[in-house]
Amino acid sequence: MENPRAPVLRAERRLIYVYALGACFSIIGLICTAVSFGYWHFTLDECEGHPNSDQRHCGCLLFTESSTRLLIGGDTRICHFVEFSCIPGIAVGIIMAVWHWYRVAFVLNKAPKPKRYRRRPVNAQDDIPGFAETVHRVEVVQKPSVVRIVTWLTVFFVVMVVGALSLASAVTITIGTVQSCQQYRENLIETLSADGYMAALIKDRLSCQAVFDFMDYLLPIKERYSANFINTGVALQMAIVAIWFSAVTFIMGAVICFIEALRGSRICCSRR
């Protein structure tokens, strides 16, 4: 006989992998963004005294602006949003993965004990010794608890919020990276005094990875603490991929939680 908890067991096993992957992708996104954003922060913070800039911190690698051989960073709050949006994914992913692992290992794998109760018959055979206990001993299958359904829905909302936050971060870093790439193309053309086919090559044919490679070696770095160069293009690409996958995995986890809540509510209603 199949364990009645088998469907829930399968769902929670899937959720262990989903949450673990979501936490791993969030960690990768946090590391890549922290390294690349921190590396360029002081170099790109050129807002002070610039006529086209308001009073804000401009040390963000995303949404940069090119101006007279100067690359001005975007609003620092944008980079902070992208970085810090990875933290809820790490926390929720680890906590939920551990919680589901505990349930799978120590709760759901154990066969449930059927509850039994006795009731006295309301007929003339009550006087027959042992008859009532034999006939009226009933196995009761425990109905799905409303608390369990509410728990699934609560987890669904929490995980969906994390997924939406990761999705917003993924969209932000993707659009911001593309704009920074386009702006440094203009800056690179001006820095190299390129014209004609050379300018067309940089503007139309040079990939963003190559553009960020030029940026790594040609843009002077302020307050460098190491003689080594980072690979800005690879760091940004890894961050973009990791944050997008993090958003997808958490949304998948939320969908699984919602399906389990619906399944539990259907079982509960069908047995009333």
pLDDT of residue 215: 92
Lowest mean pLDDT among 80-94, 152-166, 253-267: 253-267
The residue ranking higher by pLDDT, 29 or 266, is: 29
Q: What is the mean pLDDT of residues 158-175?
A: 97
Q: Check: CB of residue 73 under 8 Å from CB of residue 45.
A: yes
Measured between alpha carbons, how far is 129 from 62 in angstroms, rounded to an integer?
Answer: 84
**Residues near 43 by beta carbon (within 8 Å), at least 6 away in sequence:** 219, 220, 221, 222
Q: Does 141 have pLDDT greater than 50? A: no
Q: Backbone phi, then psi, for 221, in 5-degree steps? A: -100, 130
Asked whether the beta carbons of 194 and 202 are under 8 A apart, the reply is yes
Residue 44 or residue 120, greater confidence = 44
Which pLDDT score, from 0 to 100, does residue 117 have? 44
Q: What is the pLDDT of residue 123?
A: 53
Asked if 209 contacts 234 with a C-beta cutoff of 8 angstroms, the reply is yes
Better-predicted residue by pLDDT, 172 or 146? 172
Question: What's the mean pLDDT in 123-128?
Answer: 50
Q: Which residue has the higher pLDDT, 45 or 244?
A: 244
Instruction: Supply the pLDDT for residue 50.
Output: 56
User: Does the structure show a pLDDT above 80 at 107?
Assistant: no
**Taking the CB of residue 247, how many other CB atoms lie within 10 A of it?**
26
Question: Are the C-beta atoms of residues 234 and 210 closer than 8 Å to each other?
Answer: no
Average pLDDT estimate for 50-59: 63
pLDDT of residue 47: 78
Q: E strand or H helix at 263, and its extent?
A: helix 232-270
Instruction: Find the helix packing angle between 232-270 and 208-218, rounded to 10°.
Output: 130
Cα–Cα distance, 104 to 110 (Å, whole number): 9
Q: What is the DSSP annotation of 48-70? A: TT-TT--SS---EEEEEEEETTE
Task: Say if residue 43's pLDDT is above 70.
Answer: yes
Across the range 153-175, mean pLDDT stands at 96
Cβ atoms of residues 157 and 234 within 8 Å: no
3-state secondary structure (DSSP) of residue 145: coil
Quick check: 198 and 192 in contact, CB under 8 A?
yes
- Residue 25 has a CB neighbour count (10 Å cut-off) of 25
Mean pLDDT of all residues in 143-149: 71
Q: Which tens digit of pLDDT belongs to each residue from 202-233?
A: 988 899 999 999 999 888 777 666 667 889 99
| More confident: 69 or 33 | 33
In this predicted model, which residue has the larger pLDDT, 122 or 25?
25
**Phi, psi angle pair for 71, to nearest 5°:** -105, 115
Range 120-130 average pLDDT: 50
Task: Provide the pLDDT for residue 138.
Answer: 46
Across 109-128, average pLDDT: 52
Are 240 and 254 contacting, i.e. CB atoms less than 8 angstroms apart? no
In the prediction, which pLDDT does 148 show?
82
Average pLDDT in the chain: 83
Q: What torsion do the CA atoms of 185, 189, 192, 194 make, to the nearest 10 degrees?
A: 140
